[in-house]
Structure 1
């Protein structure tokens, strides 16, 4: 436990070239990184050793059991994890440390990136051959952090490579694009992914549903109902739902989801309002 008495989880990694430690604090369905595996340039070598030593084994029976439990009411979606650059930024280093290392030790960062690229290639066929029909490949791509150039050179190619493997087995690949997407939209359009998941429209992020449909006409659009609207009145939530449906018309390959936290005490009435409008106005084909 920490000094405040709350539980934390310490992870220790031992390699022939050095040891690593991390400290994470559980927080509901997620956790906070208090101390990351990477703390200084001395950690590059053991991190690379850890990554290159990883092995993966399928657990297809768990996927099949969950799908049997859901029956026709849902589909199990599996995940590949972050793409290499995203894992470095958000899992191994954190944003501030990554920015300094990118400026001072870019060659070493790219060696980690190369090791993670080979690591991810171990995962693609396992996921593609699973009973699940769909898989997410990371996401949380923040254009203000990675920029368009790094996105198109160092992130998109991994989505395309994974999509090719998935498609060989008749499976679909999507990405959790839950931030601003306007600068990334042309690259997403050219990519081989099948769906854009967690897309969050105006007023929370920077594109409307209509703009997303126009930008990615060949991809399914799986949106997150804009989080900021959950703080507004039920009438406003109903109006936003109507607007989203109009912009999604005729509604093919379109899903409305909730991928972020909803303010405590609001989910029941908010979800009810969204569902009322969807049931009334969301039958395909939707009128524009």
Structure 2
């Protein structure tokens, strides 16, 4: 987990809020890298003033499903989600299904970006990085255009 919710609320929330207010007053978009277990912070994150949660980690590595984050945050916060490397270890079909599930969850696609983690092994097994990226890209190209519509 990023941090204990009580510590986050006491020490980090005021800093995020102050920084967000300053940056927003200058017309800036505010983003923070928040990977890992965020479920315990899901009700506090909207209070930070952040516009983007970057490196959002959905299950199986993180503990906050995209659907719950979207339900809690609406489209107020843009979710930039990491594609979990563990899914890539399960083969092409698992990658396809996971990518389609992500798209179903975020459809029509407002306030969402899909990114790919840097942790996908690039050699073993059998050029996993290339296979993973090609599979994700193919699904995104086929179904991920706005507005997202999954048959």
Whether TM-score is above 0.5 comes out as yes
Asked whether 1:224 is paired with 2:86, we answer: no
Q: Which has the higher contact order (CA 8 A, sep 6+)?
A: 2
| C-alpha displacement of 1:270 | 0.4
CA distance in structure 2 between the aligned counterparts of 1:150 and 1:198, rounded to whole angstroms: 21
| C-alpha displacement of 1:267 | 1.2
Structure 2 residue runs without a partner (length 5+): none
CA distance in structure 1 between the aligned counterparts of 2:101 and 2:67, rounded to whole angstroms: 10
Q: Deviation digits for residues 136-165 of structure 1, max 9, x if unmatched?
A: xxxxxx34xx31100111011111111111
CA distance in structure 1 between the aligned counterparts of 2:82 and 2:14, rounded to whole angstroms: 25
CA distance in structure 2 between the aligned counterparts of 1:182 and 1:215, rounded to whole angstroms: 10
CA distance in structure 1 between the aligned counterparts of 2:20 and 2:94, rounded to whole angstroms: 38
Q: Which residue number in structure 1 is paired with residue 27 of structure 2?
A: 170
Q: TM-score when scaled to structure 1?
A: 0.49
Q: Which residue number in structure 1 is paired with residue 139 of structure 2?
A: 277
Choose between structure 1 and 2: higher helix proportion: 1
CA distance in structure 1 between the aligned counterparts of 2:134 and 2:116, rounded to whole angstroms: 13
Choose between structure 1 and 2: higher strand proportion: 1
Q: Which residue number in structure 2 is paired with residue 254 of structure 1?
A: 112
Structure 1 residue runs without a partner (length 5+): 1-141
Output aligned runs, 1:1-288, within 5 Å. 142-143=1-2, 146-217=3-74, 218-265=76-123, 266-287=128-149
CA distance in structure 2 between the aligned counterparts of 1:260 and 1:176, rounded to whole angstroms: 14
Give yes or no for contact 2:34–2:54 (8 Å, CA) kept in 1: yes
Question: How big is the alpha-carbon RMSD for the aligned residues of Structure 1 and Structure 2?
Answer: 1.3
CA distance in structure 2 between the aligned counterparts of 1:287 and 1:212, rounded to whole angstroms: 20
CA distance in structure 1 between the aligned counterparts of 2:40 and 2:85, rounded to whole angstroms: 21
Runs of 4+ aligned residues of structure 1 deviating over 6 Å after TM superposition are none
CA distance in structure 1 between the aligned counterparts of 2:85 and 2:7, rounded to whole angstroms: 28
Matched positions, count:
145
Q: TM-score when scaled to structure 2?
A: 0.90
